[in-house]
Amino acid sequence: MLSISAEEFLIWKKKQLSRGGDQQSFAVLLDCVGGVSKSDINLITINPHGILHLKKKLEFLESVWDDHLLKSCPIQYLCGITFWRELKLKVTNKVLIPRPETELILDIVFNIFRRKSEKLFFAELGTGSGAISIALALAYPLSNGVATDIDQDALEIAIENFTNSSKQSNLKFYCGNWWSPLGNFKGKIDLAISNPPYIPKDTYEKLPKEVKNFEPKVALLGGEDGLKHIREIIQKAPLFLKEKGWLILENHFDQGEKVKKLLIKNKFTSIEIVKDLSGIGRFTIGRYK
């Protein structure tokens, strides 16, 4: 640990932020690499006369911040860590950085299944870092879940994140295309969730460089119209869901009505488009019959 005067640190912090970037990214850098939490910062802001302990030198933190600003590399990849709901997750460029708006998926589930003692069997398709299914496995400890991904490297990270987040063993991981690794669970799933790649091809080409140059294409691109994967997931869902089982999908900002039509066509009921905190119809949910 290195010691530095709080005053010196605060001046340095102000200088770094004046060069660009946002507070939230800087907070991730300080916490994950510097070992300085948000509450440490709050304390020294109130009392700047104390001493602060750092895990790394300011020069090193500055060099990581430089990489972030100059190359547009997401700070989460540079630090190897992201925060999502109550989880601290490892991330590499093999997995999408789980987004704050996706956190709402858990609230949708909590609204449907209100008892934490629920014994559900849930599936997450396209788990990436594992964020959604790990949060579910922790929130419903008597439930069991399965999480799939097409990318074995992503699954390895999800498995590591689950091991680091919990001593539970109620989540298993499978590699393969959407439902295909789940052949043993036909008709057994109470709840299936997916945040699949849903960006239309044209939009993908125009994504900001911090996304397009660093995040995995396989996690973002949803074919010509963005709905390629959503279509496949919905069409096969009836084989795997129990009667009255739920399907919860995240979609692009303007896809809600189209996803709703697909669900109706495939005999889903209780269909609803759920808005995110910006008022965007970000999730489409339904029950199989």
Ligand X SMILES: C[S@@+](CC[C@H](N)C(=O)[O-])C[C@H]1O[C@@H](n2cnc3c(N)ncnc32)[C@H](O)[C@@H]1O
Give bridge partners of residue 81 from the DSSP assignment. 90
Question: Could you say which DSSP state residue 99 is in?
Answer: P
Count of positions on this chain that bind ligand X (CB under 6 A) = 23
Contact call for residue 230 and ligand X (CB under 6 A): no
Contact 32, 54 (CB under 8 A): no
Q: Beta 281-288 vs 268-275: how paired, if at all?
A: antiparallel
Contact 87, 103 (CB under 8 A): no
Distance CA 199, CA 171 (A): 28
Among 61, 89, 154, 285, binds ligand X (CB under 6 A): 154
**Which residue stretch of 12-20, 33-41, 91-99, 252-260 sits at the interface with ligand X (rule: CB under 6 A)?**
91-99
Q: Which is nearer to ligand X, 78 or 136 (CB)?
A: 136
Q: Which is nearer to ligand X, 169 or 177 (CB)?
A: 177
Shortest reach from residue 19's CB to ligand X, in Å: 29
Contact 83, 106 (CB under 8 A): no
Q: Beta 281-288 vs 2-5: how paired, if at all?
A: unpaired
Contact call for residue 286 and ligand X (CB under 6 A): no
Q: Can you say whether residue 255 is alpha, beta or left, with left for phi > 0 and alpha for psi between -120 and 50 degrees?
A: alpha
Q: Which is nearer to ligand X, 196 or 281 (CB)?
A: 196
Shortest reach from residue 256's CB to ligand X, in Å: 17
Residues 251-280 that bind ligand X (CB under 6 A): none
Contact call for residue 281 and ligand X (CB under 6 A): no
Nearest one of 129, 256, 147, 142 to 193, comparing CA atoms: 147
Shortest reach from residue 4's CB to ligand X, in Å: 35
Among 148, 161, 251, 255, binds ligand X (CB under 6 A): 148
Contact 287, 267 (CB under 8 A): no
> What amino acid is encoded at 43 in this protein?
L
Residues 174-193 that bind ligand X (CB under 6 A): 177-178
Among 132, 182, 248, 285, binds ligand X (CB under 6 A): 132
Q: Which residues bind ligand X (CB under 6 A)?
A: 95-96, 98, 102, 125-129, 131-132, 148-151, 154, 177-178, 195-197, 218-219
